Amino acid sequence: MPEAIKRRGDYEARVTHNRQLGKLCYRLGLEFSGDAARLFATFQPGQFVQLEVTSLALPPADKIPAHLQDQAWRHVMLRRPFSLCSVSATPTTTTIDIIYYLFGPATLRMITLEPGHRLRVLGPLGNSFAMPENKQTALLVAGGVGAPPIQHLATELAARDAVSQIVLFAGSKTIDDLAIERQDTPQGVSLPDLEAPNIAVHIATDDGSAGHHGFVTDCLVEWLQEHGEGPTADLVLYGCGPEPMLRVLAAIASRNKIDCQVSLERYMGCGMELCQSCVVEIRTPQQTETIYKLCCLAGPVFDAREVVFEEAH
Amino acid sequence: MMTETSVQVDFAGLRLKNPVMTASGTSGYSDELGDFMDVNALGGFVTKSISIRPRRGNPTPRVVETDAGMLNTIGLANVGLDRFVAEKIPTLEAMAEAGVAIFVNIAGTTIEDYVAVTERLARERAIAGFELNISCPNVKKGGISFGTDPVQVEEITSAVKEVTHGKVLIVKLTPTVTDIRVTAQAAVEGGADALSLVNTFTAMVIDIETRRPLLADRTGGLSGPAIKPIAVYLVNRVYNGVTKGTDVPILGMGGIRTASDAIEFMMAGASAVAVGTASFVDPACAAAVIEGIRVFCDRQHITDVTELIGSLE
Ligand SMILES: Cc1cc2nc3c(=O)[nH]c(=O)nc-3n(C[C@H](O)[C@H](O)[C@H](O)COP(=O)(O)OP(=O)(O)OC[C@H]3O[C@@H](n4cnc5c(N)ncnc54)[C@H](O)[C@@H]3O)c2cc1C
Ligand SMILES: Cc1cc2nc3c(=O)[nH]c(=O)nc-3n(C[C@H](O)[C@H](O)[C@H](O)COP(=O)(O)O)c2cc1C
Ligand code: FES
């Protein structure tokens, strides 16, 4: 029997890289050794970490985008939750990659991280996407900053040969907002991390800056119309992105009777079931009432049928 | 390092192995911090508020970060008395056996509620005492309305005192009053064995884009380093004005993150301290505070930590 490893912990990681991918998007690599390496090697797509960013300094003023100058002044006390886009392990180390988008004071501080810097990382936290059983095709929908865990899931599904076909729909307002590494070629945009014989990628942008001009969910509907002659029981749908997108996804899944899992975001005070801040409203099987479940413990991945999606404010 | 220092303190007739506890609502029901620290090292453990029936609490967003602090409006979400007894008492028993003083924080909307919950739990061997939460700013009925009126404070304290079966009764005071000595005095007259202060300060954050409060419940309770100097002052005020020279100890809290913070509270008059919000950022914070107090005593050649209590010149 393998030696028992802890369920989760608070560890120090070493920064291996922190590359700018787009105007407001970065890719951060964090390397663990020892016990932490063994623990983080078990990281499943959909799980997340909490990064300790309070101790980081703000970047110099000229590195702060104009629209974040005000936000930059806010102090950071709480940790910040991030999903992973990839996990790679050697016999002694494990490296996790995070793709982050500049939203405010914490993510701004993160751009000052350089190779060799140390960062405290709490994890692995939360549940994960359930791997498909007896499914032919996995349909993955990524919206904006929701893309990293979908990338992780796609590569995991491909590596495990879990389905015969993976179709990934990635969408954002504009192509620069898509939190996936990309290459701009004369033929259009390609996503090098998702190049695999069994992964097909469709891109959509609200402003037409790449791929289909329109919503990513439209591409999914179109795909279903073209390919959906067969039994939908062979399909499984996964999504992560803005809640309005996930709500549409859930409706599509329910209309077509497709199993669907969505990864949700909530404001998280702790990420480890201490503060009770992160509740998601869930329908009970009797549908007579709803209950609250913690996004950091019971989630972030939920069965789309159960979720009462939040109204957009 | 070997040390002669005694960090034990007396707390309302209990001998605590050190003066550091967890603050209610920030460390779960029992051993949730166990993945990150040895919970048996704590001097005391205060559970999340327990009410007679389960409460799901307020809608999200329930927390928001502020400069050096956060607002919460969890709304006393908890599993309720029955599930607490069935699921959490066994773990608390193990902690009690390891020498941790277990306090159950009790919330309600009527005096009868408080009495009923206390009466039921007074039979449990694991429990050393109760902390009456009459100061939560986030419930519409009861809660803070009890806590601001000295007549009601005395009434509820004496009603609960009758059913504690000799276990320690701590009354937790709200700071949102004009003169905290008045409510502190009322609690002592009602028979409180100890006072706990402070709970959070009612506060608001506005989203200027939408012109709406950021929290779904409009206001929330401010906690974290931002409130520490006010909390230290209030502890000192109650110590000098009410408890000094009596056998009623103070459990001080509000923004404690380091041993230095804890020592300030003790010098101001607290016999014990509680770590709250800081555990969200560093779940091993309480353990570090305990160790830091030892180191401070060693450095200052203090052989008995109780020397610090109320030692403010
Ligand atoms: C499970 C989960 C996975 C996530 N994965 C990613 C990811 O892979 N890449 C990425 O760029 N972002 C991810 N996020 C969002 C990320 O946590 C926020 O972008 C980050 O907290 C912003 O912090 P800030 O200080 O830069 O901005 P702020 O100005 O503080 O906030 C910007 C936005 O982030 C939200 N936010 C702020 N603090 C928190 C918090 N403590 N918990 C949750 N949300 C918060 C706010 O509601 C706001 O909408 C994830 C969030 C969750 C809950
Ligand atoms: C998220 C959160 C939940 C809380 N829940 C409770 C509670 O259920 N009962 C209670 O008496 N106090 C509760 N409190 C108040 C804390 O116990 C403590 O009094 C306060 O936060 C000040 O200490 P701190 O600054 O160290 O957090 C809560 C505080 C926070 C931040
Ligand atoms: S984030 Fe604190 S309980 Fe989920």
Cα(A312) to centroid(ligand 2), Å: 29
Mean pLDDT of B67-93: 94
Per the domain annotation, does B13 fall within a domain?
yes
The whole-number pLDDT of residue A1 equals 39
B5-17: per-residue pLDDT in tens? 899 999 999 999 9
Mean pLDDT of B171-178: 93
Mean pLDDT of A188-201: 89
- The average confidence (pLDDT) of chain B is 94
Cβ-Cβ contacts under 8 Å, B227 against chain A: none
The whole-number pLDDT of residue B13 equals 95
| Tokens, residue A52 | 């300790």
Q: What is the dihedral of CA A221, A223, A225, A227, to 10 degrees?
A: -150
**A307: Cα separation from own chain's centroid:** 18
Dist CA A201 CA B198 (whole Å)? 55
| Tokens, residue B30 | 């029992």
CA B30 → CA A124, B27, B102, distances in Å? Answer: 21, 8, 9
The whole-number pLDDT of residue B2 equals 54
The whole-number pLDDT of residue A197 equals 87
For helices B150-161 and B111-121, the axis angle rounded to 10 degrees is 30
Domain count, chain B: 1
B280 at A interface, C-beta within 8 A:
yes
A152 contacts A45 by C-beta, under 8 angstroms: yes
CA B93 → CA B22, B50, B96, B122, distances in Å? Answer: 17, 17, 5, 14
CA distance A36 to chain B (A): 13
- Is there a contact between A292 and B57 if contact means CB atoms under 8 Å apart? yes
Dist CA A257 CA A79 (whole Å)? 38
CA distance B201 to chain A (A): 17
Q: What is the dihedral of CA B126, B131, B137, B139, to 10 degrees?
A: 50
Mean pLDDT of A272-281: 95
The whole-number pLDDT of residue A134 equals 87
- Ligand 1, atom 28, residue with closest C-alpha: A104
B265 contacts B238 by C-beta, under 8 angstroms: no
**Which domains, ranges and CATH numbers included, belong to chain A?**
9-125 (2.40.30.10), 137-260 (3.40.50.80), 264-313 (no CATH)
Per the domain annotation, does B271 fall within a domain?
yes
Mean pLDDT of B183-200: 96
The whole-number pLDDT of residue A227 equals 79
Mean pLDDT of A79-108: 96
Asked which of A1-5, A98-102, A187-191, A235-239 is least confident by mean pLDDT, the reply is: A1-5
Helix (H) or strand (E) holding B243: none
Mean pLDDT of B225-253: 97
| Per-residue pLDDT at B126 exceeds 70 | yes
Per the domain annotation, does B212 fall within a domain?
no
The whole-number pLDDT of residue A196 equals 85
- Is there a contact between B74 and A276 if contact means CB atoms under 8 Å apart? yes
Distant-in-sequence, close-in-space partners of A176: CB < 8 Å, separation ≥ 6: A22, A23, A24, A25, A209
Cβ-Cβ contacts under 8 Å, B220 against chain A: none
The one catalytic residue in B104, B136, B226, B248 is: B136
B33-42: per-residue pLDDT in tens? 999 999 999 9
B264-305: per-residue pLDDT in tens? 999 999 999 999 999 999 999 999 999 999 999 999 999 999
| Per-residue pLDDT at A5 exceeds 50 | yes
Residue A290 phi/psi, 5° resolution?
-115, 155
Q: With H, G, I as helix, E, B as strand and everything else as coil, classify residue B95.
A: helix
CA-based nearest residue to A99, from A46, A146, A64, A41? A146
Neighbours of A226 (CB within 10 A): 8
**Closest ligand (CA of B273):** 2
Per the domain annotation, does B295 fall within a domain?
yes
Per the domain annotation, does B184 fall within a domain?
yes
A272 contacts A296 by C-beta, under 8 angstroms: yes
CA B190 → CA B87, B116, B153, distances in Å? Answer: 32, 18, 8
A45 contacts A129 by C-beta, under 8 angstroms: yes
The Cα angle at residue A233 between residues A231 and A239, in degrees rounded to 5: 120
Mean pLDDT of A140-163: 94
Distant-in-sequence, close-in-space partners of A58: CB < 8 Å, separation ≥ 6: A64, A72, A105, A108, A109, A112
B130-168: per-residue pLDDT in tens? 999 987 555 555 556 778 889 999 999 999 999 999 999
The whole-number pLDDT of residue A229 equals 62
The whole-number pLDDT of residue A29 equals 98
The whole-number pLDDT of residue A37 equals 96
Percentage helix, strand, coil for chain B under 3-state DSSP, each rounded to 5: 35, 20, 40
Dist CA B146 CA B187 (whole Å)? 11
Q: What is the 3-state secondary structure (H, E, C) of chain A?
A: CCCCCCCCEEEEEEEEEEEEEECCEEEEEEEEEHHHHHHHCCCCCCCEEEECCCCCCCCCHHHCCHHHCCHHHCCCCCCEEEECCEEEECCCEEEEEEEEECCCHHHHHHCCCCCCCEEEEEEEECCCCCCCCCCCEEEEEEEHHHHHHHHHHHHHHHHHCCCCEEEEEEEECCHHHCCCCCEEECCEEECHHHCCCCEEEEEEECCCCCCEECCHHHHHHHHHHHHCCCCHHHEEEEEECCHHHHHHHHHHHHHHCCEEEEECCCCCCCCCCCCCCCEEEEECCCCCCEEEEECCCCCCEEECCCECCCCCC
B165 at A interface, C-beta within 8 A:
no
Is beta strand B44-46 parallel, antiparallel or unpaired with respect to B101-106? Answer: parallel
- Report which DSSP code applies to B48: P
Dist CA A204 CA A54 (whole Å)? 36
- Report which DSSP code applies to B34: G
| Tokens, residue B62 | 């329930």
Instruction: Please tell me which residue, B246 or B143, carries the higher pLDDT value.
Output: B246
Dist CA B190 CA B270 (whole Å)? 20
The whole-number pLDDT of residue B32 equals 93
Could you tell me the pLDDT band of residue A19, with boundaries at 50, 70 and 90?
very high
| CA atoms in the 13 A half-sphere facing the CB of A136 | 8
Per the domain annotation, does B67 fall within a domain?
no
Any atom of ligand 2 within 6 Å of the Cβ of B21:
no
Is beta strand A212-213 parallel, antiparallel or unpaired with respect to B194-197? Answer: unpaired
**Peptide bond connecting A60 to the previous residue in cis, omega within 30 degrees of 0:** no
B135 at A interface, C-beta within 8 A:
no
Mean pLDDT of A25-51: 96
Residue A172 phi/psi, 5° resolution?
-160, 175
- Say whether B136 is catalytic: yes
Cβ-Cβ contacts under 8 Å, A270 against chain B: 279-280, 283
Per the domain annotation, does B210 fall within a domain?
no
Could you tell me the pLDDT band of residue B110, with boundaries at 50, 70 and 90?
confident
The domain of B98 spans 9-57+76-201+223-308
Asked which of A149-153, A182-186, B209-213 is least confident by mean pLDDT, the reply is: A182-186
CATH number at residue B102: 3.20.20.70
Cβ-Cβ contacts under 8 Å, B28 against chain A: 273-274
Per the domain annotation, does B1 fall within a domain?
no
Which of A76, A79, A279 shows the shortest C-beta gap to B60? Answer: A279
A95 contacts A30 by C-beta, under 8 angstroms: yes
CA distance B307 to chain A (A): 32
CA B108 → CA A137, B40, B116, B141, B143, distances in Å? Answer: 51, 29, 10, 9, 7
| Tokens, residue B9 | 């303190």
| Per-residue pLDDT at A2 exceeds 50 | no
| Per-residue pLDDT at A79 exceeds 60 | yes
- Ligand 2, atom 21, residue with closest C-alpha: B223
Could you tell me the pLDDT band of residue A187, with boundaries at 50, 70 and 90?
confident
Dist CA B286 CA B22 (whole Å)? 7
